[in-house]
Every structure is written in C-alpha cells, then in structure tokens.
Structure 1
Amino acid sequence: MSEVPAKRPTTEDIERLFLGPPARYTRLQVAEAAGVPSELAARIWRALGFAAPADDAVAFSDADVDALRRIGVLLDAGLLDEKIVVRMARALGQTTARLAQWQAEIVLDSLADAGDGELGRLLETAGLLLPDFERLLVHVWRVQLAAVATRLSASAELVADPSSARITLAVGFADLVAFTRYSRDLDSSALAELVEGFESRASDVVAARGGRLVKALGDEVLFTAGDPATAAGIALDLADAARANADGPDVRVGLAYGPILPTMGDVFGPTVNLAARLTAIARPGTIIIDSGMADGLTGVPGLEISKIRRRPARGFGVIQPYVLRARTPDEEHVGKPAGKPVAQAGEGAR
C-alpha cells in the first residue's frame, strides 16, 4: 500500500503552532477586555511592528488580551508610563523581528529542495522544540541584560551623574577590504556566505574578549568595549581571523576612545564618528587608533603604537592617528619592531 503524501502546512497550521488558539477579538474588543485605552493599544501594536487591522477584523487572541492586561497592570501601578511602554514595545518588536527573520533564513537555507513532506515534519519538530527555545530565549535575554547593567554601573560618569546618558567606551569599526569587488565577482550564495562568515567571526571574537557587537552592516561591524586594552585585543584578533581565512578579504579597523550616547541599542556621538573616519584611513590589515586609545594603551605589554602623519578628517579638522600592532615575542625581547616601519603600514586610504 502506497504512503499518502504529506500535505504542505497551511497558514492556519503555522499560526496554530506558534500562536495557539485562533483569534476571536477585534482591535476595540481586545483593548476593552484588557482594560487598556484603545488608542494606547493601537500605539503598542504599531510599535511592535505589526500592521494595524481594520476595526472590524478579528485579529487578536486570548494571549493578546493577557499580554495587554499585564501592561495595563504595570501602568496602573505606576511602574511604567505610556512613553516607556511604547519605547519598550518598539525595542522588543525590532529585536524579535530580526531574530525571527534570521532564524527562518537559517532553516530555509537547509530546505532549498524540500518537499511538502519535509516541510510538514519540520513544523512537527518545531512544535517539539518550541518550549525549550522559549525558555532559552528568556535565559539569554536575562544574561544579556545583566551584562548591560554591569557595564553601565561600571561607568564612573554614569554613577556620578545618573541623569546623563553618556558613557565612556572604546568604539571600533572593522570592515572588509575591497568588498565592492567581491560583491561584483561572487554569486548571491557565495556573497551571502562571505558576509555571514565575517559577521560570525566578528561576533565570536568580540564576545570572547567581553566586548559588545552593536551591529553588523554587511561588510562592516561596529563594536564597543569598556576599556582601550579590551578594544585593542578585539581589533588584533579580528585582523588575525581575517589573515587565517586565506580565501577571504582582509579587514581594517578604526578605534576611538571617548564619550558615547547609547540609544535604542545603538551608539552615537563624535567618538563613533571618529572611529569610522579612522577606519577609512587604514590600509588593509592595519589598525588605526585615536589619541584617546593611544593614551589608554600606554604601558600595555605586547603592543606597538606608532604615530603617523597627521591628516584631515571630516568633522574633526586635522587629527593625529596612530597605528596599533602586536609585538612578537622576539620584538618584545629586543625592544623594537622588526621589518617594515609601522608608520608606513598605516599610510594611505582604501
């Protein structure tokens, strides 16, 4: 007897798995059931990144009522105000949307030639894994939140003036050299593999050193570290990782140390802009730092810092850059660098 082919999962199948019981409330009904003003409920829904349904569309479930009711309790207790709730909703929506998209792409990459039966089995497996993934997500979020709180509490500036959002950090940009040429020569699959490989290596290096990967922009990553020595270690490890990947492009890194403004998970301010300008100055395989980094690395063993030619940088006038490199054990022993002068290694732009 032949086996009955498995059917392709429907939209209803997917929603039932991930969302539970079907929708039964309209936009006005869900707000009324939760005891939250309908206008605020709509603002929260938009901030989460969801399309606004029509007033008569049945689009909300009991789970939506429960979530909205919890928000109402926090508002009534005075623990949060409406502005904070909307900002929190926007942060949650943007972060989870990217996470969901990324995870879906990982799965879809392995299902390029999948049939309906395989898709059905995948949905069944997802149902089994979902509870554990949910608990893992909450655990990782708590650990990340603790790490952020620890970094912020370690900032003397923030402790001295809690009203100031500015903190002092080392900021680094690392980008792939000649990415335009690679993007022109590689097919879409190979290009995606190149970008994902770079982001993956950068994420591992930054995390291993205790820094934070702020964002990845295809051929470029932005990271922060609590002190110049940590940032220097990250930059040197990124350069080493690129050299170890003989088939891929080289990287160049710019580092600056100073006050930054953290906003919505990103970082802003002159220090960030200066790090970007220094990256543009760097030659392939080199690390260029500002005077704040150079001062902070004074006396740190295993490093060589050399002043190079002063040059103009948009928005900063004429700046004094430095080249950072690691000393080899032999150079540490004799007390001077070997080979090509470091100052030459950093001269020139792209």
Structure 2
Amino acid sequence: MGGGEVTERPTAEQIESLFVGALPRYTRIQVAGLAGVPQDLAERIWRALGFATLADDAVAFTEADVATLKRVRAMMEEGLDDQTVVRLARALGQTTARLAQWQAEIMIGTMLGPDERPTESDLAAIMELSRRLLPDFERVLVHVWRAQLAAAGTRLLAITDLTDEVVPSRLTLAVGFADLVSFTQVSRQLSERALADLVEGFESRASDVVAAHGGRLVKTLGDEVLFTAVSPRMAAAIALEFVDVIRRYGPEVRIGLAYGPVLPVMGDVFGTTVNLAARLTAIARPGTVIVDDGFAGAVAGAPGIQTGRLRQRPARGLGVVRPYVLRRA
C-alpha cells in the first residue's frame, strides 16, 4: 500500500504499513544490537510496552523500532536506570493500548451500523479515512499529552505547597467513589447496545464534571468511577454536581468522599483513604454524598456547602466510622 489509498479489503501488512510505516526488517536480536541496548533490557521494554516475545529468527522490527530503542539508550545516558525505563514503558504501553482499542471502536462504530457486518468496501473506507486523519490526530495526541503533563505537574506543585515535602511519596488528597445505583438489576433489563450506551454515558459525564472542577479521573470500572482532587472543597463541588448531572441523565448515583494520605502507584491511588471512600459509597443512599469526619471538618464554613452528621456505623475492615451527609447549603 505504501500509505496510498485502499480500495479493497486491507491486509495485515497494509494496516501495519499505514500506522507504523516501513515494513519489518529486523529480528529482536538485530534491533537490540543496532540500538546498542542489552538484549535482556530490550526484551523487558518490549514486554512492558505490551508486545509479544517472538522467536529469535522472526523478522518483526522496523527502523522505527531501532530509533525508539536508541532514544531509550539516550535517556539512560542522561541518568535513568533500567527499572525506571521499564516502568515508563509499562505506563506508555498500557495507556496507549487502551487508547488505540477505544479509538478503533469509535471509528468503526461511527462508520458502520450497530449490528452490521462490515463489507470489504467498508473496511477499505475506514482505512482511507484513517490514512487522512492520522497526521492531524498524531499532533493532537502529542499536544494533549503535553497539556496533561503540565496539569499533573501543577497538581503536584499544589500538593507540595500543602505538605512542605519536595516530592511526597504519599499524597494528601480528597478521594471520591461514584457508584451507579442498582446497576446489576438495570443491566439485566437492557440489550448489550443499551448497556454499552449506559456505561459510556456514565463515564463521559463523570469525566466532564471531574475535569470541569480541576480534579483527576483516576479510573472507571463500568458502574463506578474513582476520582481525586487536591482539596476537599474541589471534591465536594465535583460530587454535588455529579449527583445533579446523573439524576438528569436517568439513573441515580451515590458518592463517598474521604480526605487523607494516599499512595500513588502506576497512575492509580491506594491506601486507607481510598478504602474509606469506597466504604462510604456502600452506605450512601441513592442520590446522596457521604463524607468522613475529616472531610466534613475540612469543608466546614465553605460557601454553598453544609454537612449533617449521621449515626456511627461499621465499615468493613476499617472499624466504626462517623459519616456525614454532604449537601448544598
């Protein structure tokens, strides 16, 4: 194909040529040698990026792969160690794999009917549109990634201002869990297409609300989302608006918020504060936001917010907690 227009069913080689560029020329041993990277480290990097381990004589690597490994070597010469390089590769591989799969589904779903079997001309049309959009999308991708790096750096700066630590290994954050009420029951009554629309609508609205208030959407789990915010007031604004938005959308949502130290690992967050937010979500009634006593104290006196103390109750694995309901004043 060579990047030209596709007029019939694309082959695997044509797809690879479109998105990767030149066709494979090297084995895994050759590409590591040409890049000057130890063979065992190169294999760890490929696995971290999500690529299968191939036979010694399998020709599967391109000039771009050689250039990529040379860039890795240059980063190591600037001071990065093997473990850091592999961790960065794993972050890149896992994130871009989900991104690529998601985008492919969107493109195919946009150009085809929901239950249509694609014809050869359909596949050719998708390939041709991808060819035309690829350069622009690549530039947008890099720009958004840089903007997200800037946002991450800004959040870290705000956190260090609060903790007086240069690079805190444990961050003090507001953590929120939002959970669709009666999701299991509702999902049994929906078709696969309707269920997919429900989940996508929930996640997209969550993403919009969290981003609008400067928080971070950590992950989505179908009927649940986990988000963080630098301050309890920011998290409270997210939660209260989220309840209103989802109520207009259809199903009810319940949210648990906690404030305290968390451990950041691989873009996720862990620790007692995260567990507490999840437990508070479990005891929240539909359409309500429940917070812990530390969170309630942090938002006391904030304009437009009020809290009401509830009776103590047990939280699995955390003992007895004193929850508060969070409302608009």
What TM-score comes out, normalization by structure 2 length? 0.94
| CA distance in structure 2 between the aligned counterparts of 1:306 and 1:125, rounded to whole angstroms | 55
Supply the AA of the counterpart residue of 1:279.
Answer: T
Residue 214 (structure 1) aligned with residue 215 (structure 2) = no
Please list the CA deviations of residues 270-312 of structure 1 after superposition, one character each: whole Å capped at 9, or x if unmatched. Answer: 0000000000010100100011110111111111210011001
Matching residue's letter, 2:101: Q
Q: Which residue of 2 aligns with 1:238?
A: 242
The 3-state SS of whatever aligns with 1:154 is helix
How far apart are 1:115 and its partner, in Å? 2.4
8 A contact 2:160–2:166 mirrored in 1 = no
Q: What's the CA shift string for 1:101-139, capped at 9, x where partnerless?
A: 111111222324342213212211211111111111111
Q: 2:161, 2:282 → 1: CA distance?
A: 30
Aligned mate of 1:228, from 223, 232, 241: 232
Q: Where do residues 56-71 of structure 1 align in structure 2 (5 Å cutoff)? A: 56-71=57-72
Cα distance in 2, alignment partners of residues 305 and 153 from structure 1 = 29
Identify which range, 88-97 or 318-327, moves more after superposition. Answer: 318-327
Q: Secondary structure at the match of 1:258?
A: strand
**Contact 1:152–1:158 under 8 Å retained in 2:** no
Out of 131, 135, 149, the residue aligned to residue 153 of structure 2 is: 149
- Cα deviation, 1:4-53, whole Å, max 9, x if unaligned, reads x9421111111110011110000100000101111110000000011011
SS in structure 2 of the partner of residue 181 of structure 1: helix
Shift of 1:162: 3.4
Q: Which residue of 2 aligns with 1:296?
A: 298
Equivalent-residue separation in structure 2 for 1:217 and 1:51 (angstroms)? 26
Unaligned ranges ≥5, structure 2: 1-5
**Aligned partner of residue 188 in structure 2, secondary structure:** helix
SS at match of 1:230: helix
**Partner residue, 1:341:** none
Q: Is 1:130 aligned to residue 131 of structure 2?
A: no
Alpha-carbon deviations, 1:170-209, whole Å to 9, x = none?
0000010000101111111100000000000000000001
Structure whose CA Rg is larger: 1
Give the structure 1 partner of residue 3 of structure 2: none
Q: Is the 8 A contact 1:211 1:225 kept in 2?
A: yes
Instruction: Confirm whether residue 26 of structure 1 aligns to residue 20 of structure 2.
Output: no
Partners of 2:313 and 2:145 in 1: CA distance: 43
Aligned to 2:322: 320
The one-letter amino acid of 1:36's match is: V
Question: Structure 1 pair 33/156, CA: closer, same or farther in 2 (3 Å)?
Answer: closer
| 1:76 CA drift (Å) | 2.5
1:117 aligns with 2:118: no
Identity %: 63
Q: Give SS of 1:56's match.
A: coil
- 1:138 partner SS: helix
- Secondary structure of 2:264's counterpart equals strand
**Does the CA contact (< 8 Å) of 1:158 and 1:166 recur in 2?**
no
Tell me the CA shift for residue 163 of structure 1.
Answer: 5.6
Report how far residue 152 of structure 1 moved: 0.8
Length-normalised TM-score, structure 1: 0.89
Tell me, in whole angstroms, the C-alpha distance in 2 between the residues paired with 1:310 and 1:318. Answer: 6
Quote the Cα distance in structure 2 between the aligned partners of 1:240 and 1:57: 56
Taking the TM superposition and a 5 Å limit, the aligned residue runs for 1:51-200 are 51-77=52-78, 79-110=79-110, 111-112=112-113, 113=116, 114-156=118-160, 160-162=164-166, 164-200=168-204
SS at match of 1:165: coil
Contact map agreement 2:199 2:222 (CA 8 A) in 1: yes
Residues 278 and 72 from structure 1, CA distance in 2 versus in 1: closer, same or farther, beyond 3 angstroms? same
Preserved CA contact (<8 Å) 1:229 1:300: yes
8 A Cα contact 1:215 1:222, kept in partner: yes
- Across the aligned residues of Structure 1 and Structure 2, the Cα RMSD in angstroms comes to 1.4
